[in-house]
Structure formats: C-alpha cells, structure tokens
Chains A and B, each alone.
Chain A
Amino acid sequence: MAAVATGKKRVNRSLSGSLSLFALLLVFGAFMVLPLIYAINNAFKPLDEIFMFPPTLFVRNPTFSSFTDLLNLLSDSWVPFSRYIFNTVFITGIGIIGHVLLASAAAYPLAKHKFPGKVFMFQVVVLSLMFTPAVTAIPNYMIMSWLGWIDTYWAVIIPAFAYSLGLYLMKQFMEQIPDALLEAAKIDGASEYRIFWSIVMPNVKPAWLTLIILLFQMLWGSDGNGYIYSEQLKTLHYAAGQIIQGGISRAGAGAAVALILMSVPITLFIFSQSRIIETMASSGMKE
C-alpha cells in the first residue's frame, strides 16, 4: 500500500533549486487553472460583462442571471431538462455498478488463481489499453444494430462494463492481498465465490472508488455519439453542447452549463483523491 510521505525534509536540497522548481509549478499551475477560473467566473457574469471589451477574467458584479436564463431556455425545450439529467445519471449509475462488479469478478482469478489461458487473457486486456475505441467504432455499430441496441441506453452502458483500464487496475490492486488470507478462508470451507464476495471485495474498497471515478468521468462526459438518436434519451453533455453552440444569444446559459458539467467530476475527485492515489500506486506494468 502507499507509504504516505512523512513530510520530513530530505537532505541535500539547494534553496535556489527549490525556488526555481516551485516557480515552474506555479507558472504551469496557473496555465492549468486559469481556463477553469475563467469558466467559473463567466457563469456568474451579467451579459454585458461577458461581452465587455477588453474581456475580463474575474466577474465584477456577480449574478445568477445565467442560471435563470438556462432554466428559462430549458423549460421552453420540448424535452424537459430533468430528462437529460435522468439519462446521464441512469447511464452513469448502471454503467458504474456493472463495471465494478464484472471487472472485480474477472480481476480476482486473474490476480490470484492459476489456470490455463490466464496469461493470454490478461495480455489481450493489456493490449487493448494500447488503442483507442475509434479503431472498433464501425464493427461496434454493426454489433449494436444486430443486438437491436441502437437508440437505447444499453449501447453506451454495456460496453462500459468491459472497459479494460478498470480490470487492469483492479487486478494489479488485488495482487497485494496476502495469499494467506485467502488460504485461511479456503481451509474454513469458503467457496471461491464466497471468498471473492466476503474477503476480496471488502479488501479492495480503495480500488472500487478509483474505478467509480474513472468510469464516472467517461460516462458523465459521453454524448452517446452515434448510438443514441432520440431526443428523450440524449445525455446532459449532448444538451450542453447544443446550448453552447447556440452562440451569442446563449452565451450566459452556455457558461452556466459548462460550470455545472465540470463541477460534478471535480467535486467527486476532491472527496476520493487519497483512495485513487492508493490504487494508482499499484498501477505499474509488471515485466
């Protein structure tokens, strides 16, 4: 497990070296965070400030008018906004639950059992980390249409169950569970399924959280591209894109939507940071 740094000063640190490194950190930190700060401030700007010249980073007279504009805009659309929220929450929720269960169940034998085909199966998963889903987009569409899943939630949810990064991280994490623990349970007469559910799963809680966040990011940002056509099934991210492309007349509402979209995953990360880093500690590719 992650050895948490003690914060104790190490030897041999030159002051000028430290200062220049931290200066570097600050400059690039500003580059990372300024666009986000701009987006946050934009959401609270009155319309005349959004179109002020010269443009400003910080809001002067903060107002919630962009959010009320957004609400008005959405109450006029023929699909209620709550529907987009429901769609995204549904896709994200089911996708995460299925992925954590399936990926953990598959990771346990890969991490702790010996059986024919194990190395091959794991290598295929590692290989699949090395390419983008775009490579398989066309056959995936064909498979979805054979299954009759086009224009349903399932086309987005079910493939997420078998996302390879999750299985990979979970397997690496499970390898740290002491074998003695599993042996003891076996001697007590527990079945493999029982061992998985009552011993392995509770021991890999930090890794669950990491899988949850990774999948959350993926599904929260998905617009159902190419699979979902009905307006009633579209996601929040898709709706946001439409509003933002609305141009000048919707600049305020667009800024408000951007803020809502980005604040959810960032908040989640703040609460789960230490657990995620604990999981990542075992993320290395074993040779």
Chain B
Amino acid sequence: MGVKWWWSWKLQEMKASKHSYVLLAPYMILFSMFTVIPVVISIILSFTYFNMLEFPRFIGWQNYTRLFLEDDVFLIAIKNTLLFAIITGPISYIACFVFAWIINELTPKWRAFMTLIFYAPSISGNVYFIWLMIFSGDRYGIANGLLIQWGVLLEPIQWLKTEAYIMPILILVQLWLSLGTGFLAFIAGLQTVDRTLYEAGAVDGIKNRWQELWYITLPSMRPQLMFGAVIQLTTSFAVADVSIALAGFPSVNYAAETVVTHLIDFGTTRFEMGYASAIAAVLFIIMVGTNLLVQKLLRRVGE
C-alpha cells in the first residue's frame, strides 16, 4: 500500500518535471553511453578472457590474481604510479594554492600577467615535447649542454634512457604541467573571500599574513580547496601521456611504466581486453577511493 502510494506520487512528480528531463536527456544519454556504461562494461569484462575476436569467456577472479601475483611489471607500474601521485599530487596541490595566494596580493595587471605565466604550460596544447629537446641525450640538449659547459659533466648523459633519471624528470615535467584548472579555481576562490572578514580579523588581533591565511583565507575557500583536490589527485594518478612522450613506450626496463601505460600496453598492443579491464577496474577503485578519502579529510579542516 505505502510503496504503491509512494510510486504513484513519484510518478506524478516525474510527469510534472517533464521539461527538466527533456533538457537533461541529450547530455545524460551521451554521458551514459560514453562514461557510465563503459565503466560497467569494463568491470564485467575484467572477469573474462577477451581478445576482441572471440566472445568473452568468464574466468572469475583469474585476471586479478594474475595481476597481483604474477605480473611483476604491474607491481612496478603500481609502485611508480603511487610514487608519482604521492609526490606530484600534494606538491602540485600546495603549489597551486601558494602561488595563487601570492599572486592574489599583486595589483590586477600583475595578477593577470602572473596567472598567465603559471597557467600557460598546462594549456599550451600538450607541448611537453619541449622537454624532449631540453633533456635530449646529445650535447645539444639544454641540460647536457649547460652541464658540460659548466664543467659538471664531461660526457652527455642519456637522460631519458637511464633508469635512475627517468622518474625524477617525469615528476619535474608533470609538476610543470600541473598548475591547471585547480590553480584557476584557487585564484578565483581567493578573490571571492569576503574582504570585510580581513578587517574584522585585524580588529580581533590577527597579527600577520600567516595567521590571516590560517584563520580566515583557508576556511573561506574550503569549497574551492575540495574541487582543486579532486582535479589534482585525478591528474596525478592518470599519468601516461608524459611518460610515453618522454620516456618512450615501453620505457627502459619499465622505469616509467605507470598503471595507465600498463593498461594501454595490454589493451592496444596485446589485445588482452579482459586483463586490461582488470587494470582499469583497479585504477578506478584507487582513484575514487583516494578522492573520497581526501575529501573527507578536507571537510574536517578548520572545523
């Protein structure tokens, strides 16, 4: 009885909101087709053996056990991705905030100029191949050339072909690229902080800019801080393009292998779609899990 009543009431409500659904429909249909359904298919495929030619064959948890127990390269990929995310995630997040905060103190013209300088690398249309020229393995590369000229090196170093240097270089380049949408959101968030709060703070005995930052600015910006965290975290877990462009694919001794490059390897080179889907599922869980955790932590800040 109650359920039936609830349904007829819901149905009536849905009929009344016909226009809302019509407006939503085109976007939602495409969004489902290219985001929601693919996630579901990917999770289903991860329990099968699938090579694109034969019909997928159900094999249970086999892909997952193979991934964690037998695949040495996947363990390298996980290690690299976590290292990458742990270093670039927080650093780029803090850098986004710190630079936005300093820039906010400038006059409007300088603020616009400095925003452009910091934001330019991330919008310049994936031109990270500039770094290929900088870390080129011969003496005409900027890094080698300068170090030889200064007498630090005698012979050019094959930067992107030497295991020990690959990860630090990728981290450097990723940090260079990482002041993007999150950075803009912080710049904007800082400008919306209610200015009277600062005056009130000064009256209440806030002594310097650091206290002002901690007691007024940060709490007022919590929504933007959350948004920025999601953006920075997601990008730092998804590193692949930079790795492929700079270190090659596969990289020397898998030194630059990340979860996403591993996924691309199995998905597009070896056509083991079931296995690749298991990699995608693991990545999906890691990303969403970390994001929810970080959001929970940020929600507590300043409370």
Q: Which residues of A contact B (CB under 8 A)?
A: 2-7, 10-14, 17-18, 21-22, 24-25, 28-29, 31-33, 35-36, 38-39, 42, 50-55, 57, 102-103, 105-106, 108-110, 113-116, 118, 121, 124-125, 127-132, 134-140, 142-143, 158-159, 161-162, 164-165, 167, 191-193, 196, 213-214, 217, 220-221, 226, 237, 241, 244, 255, 258, 261-262, 264-266, 269-270, 273-274, 276-281, 283-287
Given contacts A136-B280, A167-B27, A258-B127, contact A113 B35 (CB under 8 A): no
Residues in B281-303 with C-beta less than 8 Å from chain A: 281, 283-284, 287-288, 291-292, 295, 299
Q: Quick one: CB contact mask for B110-145 with A, threshold 8 Å, 1 for yes? A: 011011111111011111011111100001111001
B247 at the A interface (CB under 8 A): no
B165 at the A interface (CB under 8 A): no
Complex alpha-carbon distance, A285 and B185, angstroms: 11
Q: Is B140 in contact with A51, judged by CB distance below 8 angstroms?
A: yes
Residue in contact with A54 in the complex, picked from B108, B149, B185, B208, CB distance below 8 Å: B149
A-B contact pairs, 28 of them (CB 8 A): A7-B108, A31-B176, A32-B120, A36-B120, A54-B145, A54-B148, A102-B30, A105-B27, A130-B230, A132-B237, A132-B283, A135-B39, A136-B39, A138-B276, A138-B280, A143-B38, A164-B31, A192-B20, A192-B23, A237-B125, A244-B132, A261-B126, A265-B123, A269-B116, A274-B112, A280-B187, A281-B189, A283-B223
Residues in B65-114 with C-beta less than 8 Å from chain A: 95, 98-99, 102-105, 107-108, 111-112, 114
Complex alpha-carbon distance, A280 and B194, angstroms: 16
Q: Is A3 in contact with B195, judged by CB distance below 8 angstroms?
A: yes
Which chain A residues border B59 with CB–CB below 8 Å?
none
Q: Is B34 in contact with A159, judged by CB distance below 8 angstroms?
A: yes
User: In the complex, what residue of chain A is closest to B122 when comparing beta carbons?
Assistant: A217
Residue in contact with A258 in the complex, picked from B21, B129, B179, B207, CB distance below 8 Å: B129
Given contacts A7-B108, A262-B124, contact A135 B30 (CB under 8 A): no
Complex alpha-carbon distance, A10 and B295, angstroms: 32
Residue in contact with A261 in the complex, picked from B127, B149, B212, B287, CB distance below 8 Å: B127
Q: Is A262 in contact with B127, judged by CB distance below 8 angstroms?
A: yes
Complex alpha-carbon distance, A121 and B14, angstroms: 14
Complex alpha-carbon distance, A214 and B95, angstroms: 21
Q: Is A5 in contact with B287, judged by CB distance below 8 angstroms?
A: no
Tell me which of B23, B263, B276, B295 has the highest count of chain A C-beta atoms within 10 A of its own C-beta: B23
The A interface, classified by DSSP as helix, strand, loop or mixed, is helix
Tell me which of A4, A18, A21, A277 has the highest count of chain B C-beta atoms within 10 A of its own C-beta: A277
Which chain B residues border A278 with CB–CB below 8 Å?
188
Complex alpha-carbon distance, A12 and B207, angstroms: 6
Q: How far is the CB of A153 from chain B (nearest CB, A)?
A: 15
Complex alpha-carbon distance, A221 and B128, angstroms: 11
B253 at the A interface (CB under 8 A): no
Q: Is A12 in contact with B202, judged by CB distance below 8 angstroms?
A: yes
Q: Quick one: CB contact mask for B264-285 with A, threshold 8 Å, 1 for yes? A: 1001100001001100110110
Q: How far is the CB of B199 from chain A (nearest CB, A)?
A: 8
Which chain B residues border A54 with CB–CB below 8 Å?
145-146, 148-149
Which chain B residues border A115 with CB–CB below 8 Å?
13-14, 16-17, 20-21
Q: Is A113 in contact with B142, judged by CB distance below 8 angstroms?
A: no
Beyond contacts A2-B188, A17-B208, A280-B185: 11 other A-B pairs, Cβ-Cβ < 8 A, are A12-B206, A12-B207, A25-B114, A139-B42, A162-B27, A221-B126, A261-B125, A269-B116, A281-B188, A284-B226, A287-B223
Number of interface residues of B (CB under 8 A): 115
Q: Which residues of B contact A (CB under 8 A)?
A: 10, 13-14, 16-17, 19-24, 26-28, 30-31, 33-39, 41-42, 45, 95, 98-99, 102-105, 107-108, 111-112, 114-121, 123-127, 129-134, 139-142, 145-146, 148-149, 176, 179, 181, 184-185, 187-189, 191-192, 194-195, 198, 202, 206-209, 212, 221-224, 226-227, 230-231, 233-235, 237-238, 240, 260, 263-264, 267-268, 273, 276-277, 280-281, 283-284, 287-288, 291-292, 295, 299
Which chain B residues border A36 with CB–CB below 8 Å?
120-121, 124, 127, 130
Q: Is A164 in contact with B35, judged by CB distance below 8 angstroms?
A: yes
Which chain B residues border A121 with CB–CB below 8 Å?
24, 28
Residue in contact with B191 in the complex, picked from A12, A125, A165, A281, CB distance below 8 Å: A281
Residue in contact with B26 in the complex, picked from A50, A105, A241, A273, CB distance below 8 Å: A105
Given contacts A31-B176, A36-B120, contact A280 B188 (CB under 8 A): yes
Q: Is A138 in contact with B35, judged by CB distance below 8 angstroms?
A: no
Residue in contact with B28 in the complex, picked from A24, A28, A35, A106, CB distance below 8 Å: A106
Complex alpha-carbon distance, A282 and B250, angstroms: 41
Q: How far is the CB of A90 from chain B (nearest CB, A)?
A: 17
Residue in contact with B295 in the complex, picked from A25, A280, A285, CB distance below 8 Å: A285
